[in-house]
Amino acid sequence: MIAIIDYGVGNLFSLKSSLAAIGADAFVSGDAAEIEKADKIILPGVGAFGDAAKKLRDCGMADVLLKEAAKGKPIMGICLGMQLLFDKSFEYGEHEGLGLIKGEIRPISEMIPEGLKIPHIGWNALQFTDKPSKLFRYIKDGDFVYFVHSYAGANCEESIIAKSEYGAPLCAAVENGNVCGCQFHPEKSGDVGLSILRGFCDMEVEVC
C-alpha cells in the first residue's frame, strides 16, 4: 500500500490515476497514523519551497517522513516533493529541507547559459549516471520524461541517478538507499513515467 502525502500542495489526481493504471494500491492522506501504516510513501508537490516546507512541518508530516525513512521504508519525492528531500533551498531566501538527500536547491538560471527559457518545461531525455538505480530498473538511458521547473538540485553528485541536458546537465533524479526523487513528473511522462512508478512500487523495505 502506497501513501500519497496530502499537505495541501499540488494536484494529486494524475498521480493517483497513474498508480491505479499500473495496479498499485494507493491512498491520499494527511494523517500520520495512516501514513505510517503504508509500506511506501510518495511526497508530491507543486509551488514554492518555503511555503511547502512550512506546511509539511506544521502538519507533522516532516517528522513522519524522517521516522519512516530511518526504518528503510521506500520514499519518493516528485518535483517540489523531490526538492524537499534535500538539505536546503535557495528559492526566495534560504529554507531548510528534510535533509534526506545531501545537497541543495538552486535556481537553474545560475546553472545554464543566458538566453534559454525558464522554466525548463517540456520533454527531455534522461542521461543515466554510473550510479545504479532501483527506481529506474524498468526504463533505459535516453528515455524522455516531462519537466516543469525553475529550480534544480546542486551539490548532490553522490545521489544523482540521471541528469538532463538544458544548456548544462541538470539534476533530473536522485536516489539514496530507499529515498528517491524525480524532478520531472512521472505521472505525466507517458509509458516511461508509468514504468518509473512501477520501479518504485517494486522497491522493498531496506533496513540500513
Partner 1 sequence: MITKRIIPCLDVKDGRVVKGVNFEGLSDVSSPVALGQYYSRMGADELVFYDITASSEGRALFTDILCEVARTIFIPLTVGGGINTVDDFDRVLKCGADKVSVNSGAIRNPDLVYEAAKKYGDQCVVLSVDIKRVDGTFRVFAKGGRENTGMEAIEWIKKCVSNGAGEVVVNSIDTDGVKNGFDLPMLEEVCNAVSVPVIASGGAGCIDDFTHLFKALPKVDAGLAASIFHFGEVEIMDLKKTLAEENIPVRL
Rounded to 5°, angle at Cα 91 from 14 and 35: 40
Q: Is 149 a catalytic residue?
A: no
Q: Quick check: 125 binds partner 1 (CB under 8 A)?
A: yes
The answer for residues whose C-beta is within 8 angstroms of residue 44's C-beta and 6 or more apart is 4, 5, 9, 10, 12, 15, 77, 78, 79, 80, 81
Q: Is 79 a catalytic residue?
A: yes
Pick the catalytic residue from 79, 156, 182, 201: 79
Cβ closer to partner 1: 73 or 198? 198
Q: Which stretch binds partner 1 (CB under 8 A): 33-41, 128-136, 145-153, 171-179?
A: 145-153
Q: Quick check: 122 binds partner 1 (CB under 8 A)?
A: yes
Pick the catalytic residue from 95, 120, 149, 185: 185
Pick the catalytic residue from 149, 175, 187, 201: 187
Q: Quick check: 166 binds partner 1 (CB under 8 A)?
A: yes
Return the residue of 66, 70, 118, 205 that touches partner 1, per CB under 8 A. Answer: 118
CB of 105 to partner 1, least distance (A): 16
CA neighbours closer than 13 Å in the CB half-sphere of residue 86: 34
Integer Cα distance of 7 and 5 in angstroms: 6
Name the one residue in this structure whose C-alpha cell is 518535483: 79
Identity (one letter) of the amino acid at 147?
F
What is the size of the binding site for partner 1 (CB under 8 A)? 31
Crossing angle of the two packed helices 13-21 and 190-201, in degrees rounded to 10: 80
- Which H or E element spans position 96? strand 95-96
Q: Which residues bind partner 1 (CB under 8 A)?
A: 11, 13-14, 17-18, 20-21, 46-47, 117-125, 144, 146-148, 165-166, 187-191, 193-194
